[in-house]
Structure 1
Amino acid sequence: MTVVVTGASGGIGRATARAFGARGAKVALIARGEAGLEAAADEVRAAGGAALALPVDVADFAAVQAAARRAEAEFGPIEVWVNVAFSSVFGEFTSIDPEEFKRVTEVSYLGYVHGTRVALDLMLPRDRGVIVQTGSALAKRGIPLQSAYCGAKHAIQGFHESLRTELLHKGSNVKVTMVHMPAVNTPQFGWVASKLPQKAQPVPPIYQPEVAARALVYAADHPGKREYWVGASTVGTLLANRVAPGVLDRYLARTGYKSQQTGEPRDPDQPANLWEPADGKDGRDFGAHGTFDDKAHDRNPQFWAVRHKKALTAAGVAAALAGARALTR
C-alpha cells in the first residue's frame, strides 16, 4: 500500500506515518521541515515500512503535485492520502496581521484543497482510493484566540461535505472521510506563532498523537462514514454547541483565555513555524509529542467503541451529555 501523509514531520502526522509504517506501508512523507522529515522517515522504516521524505510546502500546489508524482514513480499508485499539515497563530484576531492570517489559510485550508485535488487527479481515473481529512472539534465550534485555525477547520468541513456529495453523485469508488480531533499533545504549542503573553497549552482532556493516528488509520480502512469524532471532549463540545450555542459563547468568553495558557510567561524567542519550519535543515527534530506527556491520555474509550462496532449505550449517551453540561456550566 502506498500512503501519503502531509504534515508528517511532527505531531499527529508523524504518528500517523509511523502507524502506517508498522503495517508495512510505503509512506511518502510531506512537510517543510527537513530535520523532522528525515527523523520521521527513519521511524517509518524502523516500524517496518518504506519511507520517502519529500520537503514540500502544501501551500504550493505545483510542489504538492510534483511530490505525488515522485511518490507514485518510486512506490506505485497512491491508495491513501491523509491531510494533516497546518500552521496557525495564537492570539486575538485584531493582533494577527492580515498577511499572517492569509498564510495560515493558505497552509491550513488550501493545503488540504491542494492535497485533495492532487490525490483525486490520480485516484479518479483508477476509480479507487481514500482521502482522509484531519479535522477538529474546532471545525464545528470556534473558540477565542484561534480565529485563523478555527476558520480554516470550518472551511475544510464545508469543502469536505461538498466534495463528498459530488463523489456520491458520480457513484465514485474514491472515498473521502474526516476525523475530528480533541486536544492533542503535539509540538504545535511550542512552535506555533503566538501573540499571547503566556505559554500556550491544550485544553484538557489531552490525548497522545498515537490516539489520533489510530483513528486516522481506522478511517482510511473504513472510509464509508462521513466523519468520525475522537475523544469525549470532542463529543461534548459538539453536543454543547448544538444544544446551547449562546451559553457556550459566554462560557468560552469567560474561560477560553485562561484555559489556553499555562500561566508561565511565553519565551519571546520560541520558534515559530508560520513562515519557515521550526524543524528546518539547520533546526532540530521536535518529534511527535509535545511537552504535556504527564497530562495526556494514550487511550480513547469512545473511539475504541467505534472500532469495535459497538453502538453508544445509555451510559455512553449520559457521559456525552455530562460532558456537554460541564462545558456550558
Structure 2
Amino acid sequence: MALLIVVAALVVGGVQAADGGVSAADRLAGAAVLLAATAALHWRRRRPAVVLAVTAAAAVSYYLLGYPLGPEPVPFVVALYATAEAGRRSIAVTAVPLAVGLVLAADVAAGRAPEGEDLVAVTAVLVAAVGLGELARSRREQRHAHAERAVAQERLRIARDLHDTLAHQLTAISVQAGAALCKRDSRPELAYPTLETVREVAGDALREVRSVLGVIRADATAGGNSCDAVPAIGARAGLAVTMTVSGEAGALPPDVDAATYRIAQEALTNVRRHAGVTEAEVRLAYLPRHVEIEVLDRGGGTAGSGDRTPGGHGIAGMRERVTALGGRFSAGPRPGGGFRVWATIPR
C-alpha cells in the first residue's frame, strides 16, 4: 500500500508539474489514466504479467492522447521491476525492447520525431528496473535457502540429541531391568532397588527428550548435561568409569558443554553395548582454548565405541557435533585391543 501511495503521488505531481499548455481537464483525465494503472499495481505479485500489460497500455494511451509528458512510464517501470522480482525473467527481458519499440511507434503515430537521448534514457531505466528486480529475487531466494539450511541443521541436531539420549538411557534401563529379573527369585530384596534405578533412569530420559523436543539446548543447570555428570553415565549403564580431569574447567559455552557430555554418553553407552567389558576410562582436559575428551576401553574386537552394528549413527553423530563446533574428532581401535574415542573442541 505504501508503494501505491508513493507512485500515485509521483504521477499526480508529475502531471501537474509538466509543461505543455495542457488544460486542467486534460491534466485531470491524464492523472485518472495513470492512477488506474497505479491501482493495477495492487495485483503485481499475483498477476505480474497482466499488470505489466495493463500499465504498458495505460502509458501508451496516455502518450497518444497528448497528455502532459513525463510521469507516464512510472507505473510501467514499477510493474517491470515486480515482474522480474516474481521470477518472470523472460517476460521482463522481452518487455524492454517491446517497450522501446512502442515508444518509437507512439512517436511516429503522434507525428513526433524520436529523440535518441530520450530512447537511451528510457532503455537505461527499463534495464535498471529488470536488473534490480532480479537482484531482489536472488536475495530473497538466498534468504530462503539459508532458512531451509538452518531448519535442516536444527532437525539434524534434534535427531542427534534424541539418538544420544535414547541410546544411553534405554541401554541403562535394559541393563538394570535384566539385573532385576535375575534377582527377583534368588534375592528379591535386591531387585527392588534395581527397579528404583530403572524408574529414575526412565524419568531422566523423559526429561531429556522433552528438553530436546522443546528445542532447549541442554546445559549444566537445565538438562544436567555437564561433564561433571560423566561418571554417573557409566554407573547407570553398569560400567565402572575411571575419570581423569586436568586443567581449569571454567565456564564452557552451552554448545561445547553439551557436545562434550554427549560424546562421553555415546561412547560409554557403546562400550556397555558392544565392547564386552564393564570398565572404561574417561580423560577430560580443559586447555586454554580447547576442551579435550577421550574415552578408552579394553574391549574385544576391532570395532569401537560407536557404530559397532550395521547402520549405526554413533560415530557419525559425534563427528558431526564436533565438526559443527570447529573441532577435531577421531575414533578407532587401540593398539593391543580396545577402542579410543577422542575429540577436541574450541572453547
Relative to the length of structure 2, the TM-score reads 0.26
Which has the higher relative contact order, 1 or 2, with Cα contacts under 8 A spaced 6 or more apart?
1
Which structure is larger by alpha-carbon Rg, 1 or 2?
2
